[in-house]
Structure 1
Amino acid sequence: MKIFYKTSATATGGRSGTSSLDDGTYSVQMVSPDSRDAGVNPEQLFALGYAACFDSAMQLTAKQLKFDITGAKTSVEVGIGQHTEGGYALDLDVTAHLPGMNAQDAQRLVEATHQMCPYSNAIRGNIDVRLHVKTEGN
């Protein structure tokens, strides 16, 4: 694989600490999902990253398929839970908002995007992901 970009981050203190990009450009206070303290949790950061990645991949896929996706956006909902046999896992819902597209083309686009997106490829077979399409409004 040809690597186009790399970055690194360091966390100290886990869900009650700080996570920072190693280049010094960004640092965030981490909190657990049930905390009322200021900060974010890893699931929120994953949702942000996946939504941006999927949305970017969708733009590229739409261009290849010659679809106009003006006004499109992507939402990602991340859940965390415990397996009955122990251990924890994530659960995802990815929703592509594609106003004005017909449902068949929108579904085709989202499925093709899911095959291209680096986040989707990284988690395939490891995390339950449900794809949703909304074509009315936004």
Structure 2
Amino acid sequence: MNVLDTVLYTGKTHTVGGREGHARSDDGQLDVALSPPGSRRAGTNPEQLFAAGWSACFEGAMGIAARKLRIGLPAETAIDAEVDLGTVGEGYQLQARLNISLPGLEAQQAQAIVDEAHRTCPYSKATRGNIDVRVRLT
């Protein structure tokens, strides 16, 4: 396991009640009710939060990759992230899909950006080899 040379930021949250509780960041910017997936109760769930965090981070990594490759990232760039919660045997498991739209770019340019972002995005690194992940251009 690699240990960070420099910590750039630490996200801090306080959660009570698990999937049926509440989470709040130390700075108050995140303040959400939590509810089980598929329930009719108000609130979000860890899978939605993970999908939002990963797709935001991945889009940032695509911006860095595009600059490195000297390609303009389209203003309409978008990611539809899907995180599934399921079971394997008697245990729980996640799997994920990132469906990426880079309108106006040639397929080869778009794929180069996506490949570089998937190589460097911290969320992609954290999940690599741990869960099934599909990253595709739409």
TM over 0.5, shorter chain:
yes
| Structural mapping, 1:117-136, within 5 Å | 117-134=121-138
Question: Identity across aligned pairs (percent)?
Answer: 42
2:54 paired residue among 50, 56, 66:
50
Partner of 1:99: 103
Gaps of 5+ in 2: none
- Cα separation, 1, equivalents of 2:70 and 2:20: 46
Partner of 1:81: 86
Partner of 2:70: 66
**Partner secondary structure for residue 5 of structure 1:** coil
How many residues get paired?
A: 133
Give the TM-score normalised by the residue count of structure 2. 0.91
Gaps of 5+ in 1: none
- 1:122 deviates by 1.1
- Cα separation, 1, equivalents of 2:9 and 2:125: 17
| Structural mapping, 1:27-38, within 5 Å | 27-38=31-42
Give the TM-score normalised by the residue count of structure 1. 0.91
- Cα separation, 2, equivalents of 1:29 and 1:66: 42
- 1:26 deviates by 2.3
- Cα separation, 1, equivalents of 2:20 and 2:40: 12
Partner of 1:114: 118
**Partner secondary structure for residue 65 of structure 2:** helix
Confirm or deny that 1:22 pairs with 2:26. Answer: yes
- 1:38 deviates by 0.9
4+ runs deviating over 4 angstroms = none
- 1:24 deviates by 3.0
- Cα separation, 2, equivalents of 1:24 and 1:109: 34
CA RMSD between the two structures:
1.1
